Structure 1
């Protein structure tokens, strides 16, 4: 499996807007509609990447743990479905159901949104504060497929907790590592 790292979008960047189809219910969803009151996690994922498969349960649990605290999660798949049909919208819907996602799983058919976020890999994570300013980008935690480190979501959980307590966000932010986004 290829190992690609995040591009590390500059902190303070305003979240690029979008209006994408939620594959779970076939509705159009904008960033403004999906954002959280206190924070928003935008993550670029896909169905088939072993790095995403490794973290799916934690993504589902993370959303459930923080939605009542005004933090929403949004997943986006930008992969080229012509060459990677397993990442197509129909299978995205089933993937979301199978993994108990309570967040929208959006399809970026043109790949414009991935480019706007400078996303490079799956998974790629971006945490924005209540004003949609980037405060964290990088890894979920140190766990990777096969490295034996427990999957906890620590890096993003710490970011969420610090935002909620109005504490500074750690400047030590490690890039995410995963499969490259499958560009057209």
Structure 2
């Protein structure tokens, strides 16, 4: 399992907009469609990645906990399905249902959205405040597959709480996410 660290979008960056199909509902979603009143979490994930599978149940629990508090959630898969067919839309729907995702799971076929966010790994998390500016980018928590560290979502939960309270999240508290590299199209 090759490990890739997230590139850490500069804090204060405005959320890049997108218009992508939801693999679950079939409807096209934009950033405005998924944005929460108090903040928005944009996640780059995929179906096959052991790092995503490792946190998927707790990720769904975090969304269920914070969505009612005004945080919008969206997941995006940007992998090249020629290289990873199991990351295609029909399997994305199954994955979302298996883990009880309450948020849209969008398919970025052109990979333009991943590039706009400078996403490089799965999972890769980008939390934006109510103003649409990046407040946090980093890891879900310190747990990794085959580690003794429990999956808690501690880093992300602390960041979500800070955004809800209107508190800044210190840059030194933002640890890069780690996971599988996004499978880019050749050329």
TM-score of the aligned structures, taking structure 1 as reference length: 0.98
Map of 1:19 onto structure 2: 19
Distance in structure 1 (CA, Å) of the matches to 2:102 and 2:59: 10
CA contact (8 A) 1:159 1:170 kept: no
Runs of 4+ in 1 over 2 A off after TM superposition: none
SS in 1 for 2:68: helix
Map of 1:105 onto structure 2: 105
Aligned residues: 184
Structure 1 residue 174 and structure 2 residue 175: aligned? yes
SS in 2 for 1:17: coil
SS in 2 for 1:60: helix
Distance in structure 2 (CA, Å) of the matches to 1:87 and 1:7: 22
Map of 2:147 onto structure 1: 147
Distance in structure 2 (CA, Å) of the matches to 1:166 and 1:79: 34
Measure how far apart 1:23 and its partner are.
Answer: 0.3
Gaps of 5+ in 2: none
**Any residues of structure 2 matched to 1:19-38 within 5 Å, and which?**
19-38=19-38
CA contact (8 A) 1:44 1:122 kept: yes
Distance in structure 1 (CA, Å) of the matches to 2:121 and 2:113: 13
CA contact (8 A) 1:77 1:107 kept: yes
Structure 1 residue 82 and structure 2 residue 82: aligned? yes
Distance in structure 2 (CA, Å) of the matches to 1:57 and 1:85: 23
Task: Give the aligned CA root-mean-square deviation in angstroms.
Answer: 0.7
Measure how far apart 1:51 and its partner are.
Answer: 0.3
TM-score of the aligned structures, taking structure 2 as reference length: 0.97
Gaps of 5+ in 1: none
**Any residues of structure 2 matched to 1:128-139 within 5 Å, and which?**
128-139=128-139
